Structure 1
Amino acid sequence: MKKNIIIIVLLGMLSSCTKNIDELNEQTKKPTAVPPSALFSNAEKNLTDILTSPSVNYNIFRLNVQHWAETTYQDESRYNLAGRNIPQSFWNSLYRDVLNSLAEAKKAIPLQDPQFTTAGQRRNQLAMADILQVYAWSVLVNTFGDIPYKQALDIDKYPLPVYDDAKTTYYDLLTRLDTSIAALDEGEAAFSSSDLLYGSDIVQWKAFANSLKLRMGIIIADSDPAKAAEVIAAAAPEAILSSSDNAVFQYEKAPPNTNPVWVELIQSGRHDFVIGQTFADSLLAYDDPRIPLFFTRDAAGGYSGGVIGGNPTNKWGTYSKPADAIQQPAFESVLIDNMEVEFILAEAAARGIQVGGTAVSHYNAGVTASILYWGGTASQASSYLAGKGSYANQHGTYREKIGFQKWIALYNRGYDAWTEVRRLDYPVLPAPNRAVSDFPVRYTYPAQEQTLNTANYKNGSTAIGGDLVTTKLFWDLY
């Protein structure tokens, strides 16, 4: 009897312990809903981090365009994308950390309490989130070609999304951009200080969106001149026409919101990156006033760059390094600016597109904007443009003249510089020592796509002409 009582008591205790066992799975400290403003801020920072970081795990664009060189590990300088599965990290970061955050923000925006947000404010928020999505999508398309697009952000419905045609996706992004620009209302609020780019200044957001449209227009200038002219002519008057409207992400002095260059080079104690020989020699040949603004002095007291792809003399202590300024924890990052807009207008004018001004006037404005941004003076810019840096003294056609100077001006913006080198085919970069491939004009698809989304991966690869770093994208005709 006593034994039975003990068993009953134990069973009762067990029952009471397991009756509400499902409650153990509840995450009491996890919020049931994340404010759209937080999701938007997170996406802005993640997008900027991805494009700014020099991490060899996903962003090797400074090495691709030979602005920088490596002195210890040479795989990335030699165009080896597979060693660290670099494309997969870049792909996942954009889909997971940027596009998904913005998709969740767009779901949450309409659900906000109307007591605290107006209908106009919510429209502005949706438009801003979509503009940032267009930016991120354009990066993916211009990196890989065909990508999962329409089915990509609904994992429950489409766990294995199909690959959409890159050109079709690109033109859809242009349509979305027009719709979002039209939806912006300067008389309404948006995300307030949660917008880390512009503090929800809608006038500046319109300039940012039109500058993105301008960039997307010039990218298709070879493949579809008529469409490009239409897009550029519409966007040019409303683009970033002053450096005060530059899309700048301001990092902070203390972690965790610090400049990714500082994180990778200073905080991590990495001694591997130096200025690339190709870049250093080019600037030295033109007596460029930005040399001391871009580089530190080398061991001999001058300026020199490391061999691209390395050799036994490539020592970190020997060559010029990235300037101290860009290694500061609070150094800003640029998503798009007046300098880039001026170079786009210069090229558009050279192509015969009516944007006001001439190729030379916009070229001069772009060079000047770059020199001033980096801390040079108006006098230095004038002297440079009157001498070796003048449009007339640049070699070749407008593609070579503008391509060369834009490559210089896009220093520390490796992804954008890579896009321009691919698109304009200038400057012609020498092959790295022991290169594993020709110059990469796209990232290959992630290994995870090959193994998990096999059928769609194969269809996408076939559609673009093969999953190779040398397969040109739809707009890259030369």
Structure 2
Amino acid sequence: MKATYKYLVLPVVAGVFALSCEKLETTNVDPNNPVEVPSHMLMSGAQKHMMDDVYDNWFSARQCLTYSQYWAQRNYTEEDRYQIRESVNNGYFNSFYRNLYYMDRIIELNTDPKKAAISVNYGNNKNQIAAAKIMKVWMLSIITDTWGNVPYSEAGKLIQDVYHPKYDDQKDIYAAMIRELTEASQMIDVKEKAFIGGDIIYKGDAAKWKKFANSLKCRLAVHLSKVDSNWKTYIAEALKDGVFESNADNAVFKYSTTGQDYCQFYDGFFVSQRNDFTIARPFMDILKGQPDTLNKKSHPWAGVVDPRLEVYTTSRNGKYIGIPFGIASGDMSSAYRNIAPSWYSNPPIHLSKDFAVPIMTYAELQFILSEYKGFSADEYKTGVRASVTYWTTLNGKPISTEDLDKYVDAVSKKVDAEAVALQKYIDLYMNGTEAWVEIRRTGYPDQLIRPGEVSLIGPKGNTIKFNPLSDTKGMIIPRVKYPTNESTLNGENFNAAVSKLEGGTNNYYSKMYWDVRTGPYDHPANK
């Protein structure tokens, strides 16, 4: 077996499908007795596999949700402090590339003439290709925004004898993703089904897939706002082609309460029986409208309690107090654990078996459009309303019109870059991958704790600070190191990629292409 087999791995997605690695050229000959797995079943399994990989108690909980300071660990705080387990890092990298392969298989099943003649029984061929392209871009964006320059143009080409794929520059990867989304949207026939079944996200609705393609294009475009003067052009193109129009268009993956198709956050707590996480104090204080007096930080809406507070967490003895963030495991005493919410005994909605994980929301799009229009108040307010309405309805306690109006008014006294970024951050809860991007891109929220800042005053009046275990140059972690397996399995290209990092070392502080901050509280202007 060649060393870089992972770039075209043929795994089994549990309980859903198996891929034959014996004869890749084999085609279906009978839709009622397929030799290959039908494309709609492949999409079903692939969607779940993607969601399970990204939104779990490892990549999300121990990394992205903690990097974004939504969550903190109650016992072992090493990941909160940027110490990453190499075995886990290697596993993410492999799994994410496997997910790209699934989408390539769906594209192949609808492109090859013989296979396409069978796949059309499960949905319009072009619509299936488009949906696969969109999911592939979404997955690739997470890969590149985690590690930076990564294999793309040569990845997944084992059949073409490409055993050691080169690392593409992130600038080129972004250009390719924008192009892929544009092509995907343009090929969709909204009058035809994308899939007759198996599509858990949109139930085969091609019109919604088209809106998702363009809305995702807006997300990627705003990522480039500090480095590419064409970012507004990309958004203008997406708007012309059609984007999310309401919460009904949100891209969400709703898990099931039956069998083992439950949410991985539920799995981490109640199947694995690990009470490892709770809400982090910086995020709790933001929701409570409480300034960080330890680090002399203000709050733009001091005293305003966010109506999403009771959705995002539960209380402890009627009080809402987050757990200290970024402190050493030895400093995480039972006193701090016992005052913070215990989600294991009193779980919030995101620990439900059938939690609907948000991939992208209408509210997020509105915040993007507000920034696109120079931080416009109308789109900002629409985003706040959409977010609060979505989350409170999801919790079964929809906010009243009167209370919603009061909250929107309270947080709209000054609509600027900070307000838009902070409200987007609040909306992105449980989508730690995107929140982490926004923190690095904008430098907001200021209310988050930077390395070296005070996390709490200890029981003896001692100052306990957020001291990372890996050097990030005083920043909230800019990237994750390349996995160690790459240095042996794809050594030449790995070394070439590392040579482009700051100092020519595989580190945690080299910035993404789109991250142009010069300090922990720098807020770069848009081009």
Question: Shorter-normalised TM-score: what interval?
Answer: 0.7 to 0.9
Query: Hey, what's the Cα distance between the residues in 1 that align with 2:116 and 2:206?
Result: 22
Give 1:461's aligned amino acid. V
**In structure 2, how many angstroms separate the alpha carbons of the residues matched to 1:339 and 1:471?**
31
2:513: which partner in 1? 474
SS in 2 for 1:334: strand
Task: Say whether 1:380 aligns with 2:396.
Answer: no
Is the 1:252–1:259 contact (alpha carbons within 8 Å) kept by the matching residues of 2?
A: yes
Tell me what 1:390 maps to.
412
Which structure carries more relative contact order (alpha carbon 8 Å, separation 6+)?
1
The answer to whether residue 378 in structure 2 is matched with residue 327 in structure 1 is no
* Structure with the greater alpha carbon radius of gyration: 1
- What residue in structure 1 maps to residue 5 of structure 2? none
CA contact (8 A) 1:215 1:344 kept: yes
Letter in 2 for 1:343: F
- RMSD over aligned CA atoms reads 2.3
Corresponding letter in the other structure for 1:382: D
TM-score of the two chains, using structure 2 as the length reference: 0.78
**Shift of residue 275 of structure 1?**
0.8
Query: Which one-letter code corresponds to 1:261 in the other structure?
Result: F
Separation in structure 1 between the aligned mates of residue 44 and residue 87 of structure 2, nearest angstrom: 28
Give the superposition deviation at 1:119. 12
Choose the corresponding residue for 2:379, options 345, 349, 362: 362
Aligned with residue 371 of structure 2, among 341, 347, 355: 347
Deviates more, 1:377-386 or 1:164-173: 377-386
Instruction: Show the counterpart of 1:433.
Output: 466
Contact 1:275 1:321 in 2 (8 A): no
Corresponding position: 1:140 with 2:143: yes
Shift of residue 233, structure 1, vs aligned partner: 1.1
Which runs of structure 2 are paired with 1:118-267 in the superposition (5 Å)? Answer: 121-156=124-159, 157-225=161-229, 227-237=230-240, 238-267=242-271
Q: Counterpart of 1:108? A: 109
The 8 Å contact of residues 71 and 272 in structure 1, kept in 2 or not, is answered as yes
Unaligned runs of 5+ residues in structure 1 are: 1-24, 352-358
For 1:383, the aligned partner's letter is K
User: TM-score, normalising length from structure 1?
Assistant: 0.86
Partner Cα distance (2:121, 2:54) in 1: 34
Structure 2 residue aligned with 1:33: 36
Query: Which runs of no fewer than 5 residues in structure 2 stay unpaired?
Result: 1-21, 24-33, 290-303, 393-397, 452-464, 518-527
* Alpha-carbon shift at residue 84 of structure 1 (Å): 4.4
After TM superposition, give the deviation of residue 115 of structure 1 in Å.
Answer: 6.8
The AA in structure 2 aligned to 1:220 is L
Decide whether the 8 Å contact of 2:109 with 2:116 is kept in 1.
Answer: no
What is the rounded CA distance, in whole Å, between the counterparts of 2:270 and 2:81 in structure 1?
24
The C-alpha deviation readout for 1:360-394, integer Å capped at 9, x for no partner, is: 1111111111111111413322111222x2251x7
1:420-477 per-position Cα deviation (integer Å, ceiling 9, x unaligned): 1111110132136331133211111111101211110011122243432111111111
The alpha carbon displacement at 1:328 in A equals: 0.9
How far residue 181 of structure 1 moved from its aligned partner, in angstroms, is 1.0
CA contact (8 A) 1:391 1:401 kept: no
When structure 1 is superposed on structure 2, of 329-338 and 133-142 the one drifting more is 133-142
The letter of the residue matching 1:476 is D
Asked whether the 8 Å contact 1:145–1:464 carries over to 2, the reply is: no
* Residues 191 and 199 in structure 1, CA contact (< 8 A), matched pair in contact too: yes
Aligned to 2:72, the other structure's residue is in SS state strand
Q: Which amino acid aligns with 1:49?
A: D
Q: 1:354 aligns to what?
A: none
- 8 Å contact 1:219–1:475 — kept in the other structure? yes
How far apart in 1 are the matches of 2:61 and 2:312? 23
Secondary structure of 1:347 counterpart: helix
Q: Greater share of helix residues, 1 or 2?
A: 1
Aligned pairs, how many? 435
Give the conservation status (yes or no) of the 8 Å contact 1:58–1:89: no
338, 362, 365: which one aligns with 1:338: 362
Distance verdict in 2 for CA 1:297–1:91, change over 3 Å? same
Residues 186, 443 of structure 1: alpha-carbon distance in 2 compared, 3 angstrom cutoff: same
Letter in 2 for 1:338: Y
Match of 1:313 in 2: 333
State the percentage of identical aligned residues: 29
Structure 1 residue identity aligned to 2:423 = Q
Deviates more, 1:69-78 or 1:304-313: 304-313
320, 323, 328: which is aligned to 1:303? 320
How far is the alpha carbon of 1:138 from its aligned partner? 1.6
Structure 2 distance, partners of 1:367, 1:287, is 14
Q: Distance in 2 between matches of 1:381 and 1:321?
A: 28
Structure 1 runs of 4+ aligned residues shifted over 4 Å read 56-59
Contact kept? 2:60, 2:433, Cα under 8 Å: no
441-450 or 282-291: which moved more?
A: 282-291
Deviations 1:70-92 (A, max 9, x none): 111111111112x3444322221
Q: Which residue of 2 aligns with 1:9?
A: none
Match status 1:406 vs 2:424: yes
* Partner Cα separation in structure 1 for residue 489 and residue 501 of structure 2: 20
* Matching residue of 1:54: 57
- How is 1:453-464 mapped onto 2 (pairs within 5 angstroms)? 453-464=490-501
